[in-house]
Amino acid sequence: MGHQVVIFDFSVIRGLWETRVKKNKERQRKEKERLEQSALEKIKEEWNLILEYRKKGIPQSKYLKKGFVDINEKNLDTCGKTPQLKKSPALSDGVNKEQNKFIFQLSGEQWTELPDSLKEQIYLKEWHVYNTLIQTIPAYIALFQDLRVLELSKNQINHLPAEIGCLKNLKVLNVSFNNLKSVPPELGDCENLEKLDLSGNMEITELPFELSNLKQLTFVDVSANKFHSIPICVLRMSNLQWLDISSNSLKDLPEDIDRLDELQTLLLQKNKLTYLPRALVNMPKLSLLVVSGDDLVEIPTAICESTTGLKFVSLKDSPVETIVCEDTEEIIENEREREQVEKEFMKAYLEDLRERESTPSYTTKVMLSLQL
């Protein structure tokens, strides 16, 4: 018999999670302020500078004045505003460049565009750009033929250039929690792509059919957008193992969803589904199915009685209160922030669920009452 886990009054659990997150962030803020005012933090900073100066072979006379470290002395190449490349310490400078792994990292709201020097570093294999105010990705990204990972989460990006299709070796693309409204069809040319994360953009309604070419994709996350149905191109991704299309506007699932015969995890919570198709029973590798049970009036009995060990999680969630606000951008930003917190919670919850070796076939329906 399959495993069924029913969680009632899910909003209470989530509320507890959110409260703990807020308290933890407040503790971290206070600890940061305490350290900034602490003499120990200054000593630590000076000691780290000494270690860096020694690694660079800089003599003490350059950074010691009257026996004290001059923290304003700009002797290190890492000082300054220009972002640096991080190179694996296990590799020497003499190793062939193609065997090295170069990573470009950039973060902070002071950045509104990528530095001009970036276009000269076409040997990079990874970009990690997050928490900036950057809105556009330049067309010269086509020059980065060795790029494997493109992490661009939590920025202000409003479109992807068509030139992204030139990245034939790209394996990971994460453009979550930006301002995208569409995806260029040229992305379908990235035939080696294995992971695609478009979650939290809030406005994407469809994916181009050209993405059907992405046969190597195993992970797709399009949660927190405005999809009314599962895109046709997704149903043609034959190696797909993880699909998160939660927090959208799905009213039904395609009857041929069992075409995804490699799918293991399907997250459907916070949609407008009223029934689940029997085709789900024909998916041999499906091991975790998560839905919101409030609107469901029909669930195939075979799902709950599956002999494949399917964990069927039906979440009961209270409707989110709508706050009237004249500023539409503020509403969208609040929704985006809430979705980020909920995704963190769901990730922790699902990891815990997967670690359970045994789960009761049916969980007693109970109301949880927690005093925060």
pLDDT, one tens digit per residue, over 129-160 is 999 999 999 999 999 999 999 999 999 999 99
Answer yes or no: do 113 and 258 share one domain: yes
Q: Among 67, 89, 111, which residue terminates a domain?
A: 67
Answer yes or no: do 192 and 282 share one domain: yes
Between 135 and 349, residue with greater pLDDT: 135
Answer yes or no: do 133 and 47 share one domain: no
Answer yes or no: do 37 and 129 share one domain: no
Structural domain including 164 reads 99-314
Q: Is residue 94 part of a domain?
A: no
Contacts (Cβ under 8 Å, ≥6 apart) of 14: 317, 342, 345
Answer yes or no: do 279 and 211 share one domain: yes
pLDDT score for 2: 58
Q: Is residue 212 part of a domain?
A: yes
d(CA 281, CA 130): 40
Answer yes or no: do 144 and 25 share one domain: no
Answer yes or no: do 21 and 111 share one domain: no
Answer yes or no: do 14 and 158 share one domain: no
pLDDT score for 332: 64
What does the angle CA 237 – CA 141 – CA 245 come to, to the nearest 5 degrees? Answer: 30
Domain count, the chain: 2
Q: Is residue 357 part of a domain?
A: no
Between 144 and 349, residue with greater pLDDT: 144
| pLDDT tens per residue across span 312-337 | 888 876 544 444 444 556 666 778 88
Q: How many C-beta atoms surround the C-beta of residue 222 within 10 A? A: 26
Q: How many residues does the chain have?
A: 372
Q: Is residue 324 part of a domain?
A: no
Q: Is residue 2 part of a domain?
A: no
pLDDT score for 82: 44
- Statement: the pTM of the whole predicted model exceeds 0.85: no
Answer yes or no: do 50 and 159 share one domain: no
What is the residue-wise DSSP string for 338-364?
A: HHHHHHHHHHHHHHHHHH-S---SSPP
Answer yes or no: do 224 and 282 share one domain: yes
CATH of the domain at 244: 3.80.10.10
Answer yes or no: do 268 and 131 share one domain: yes
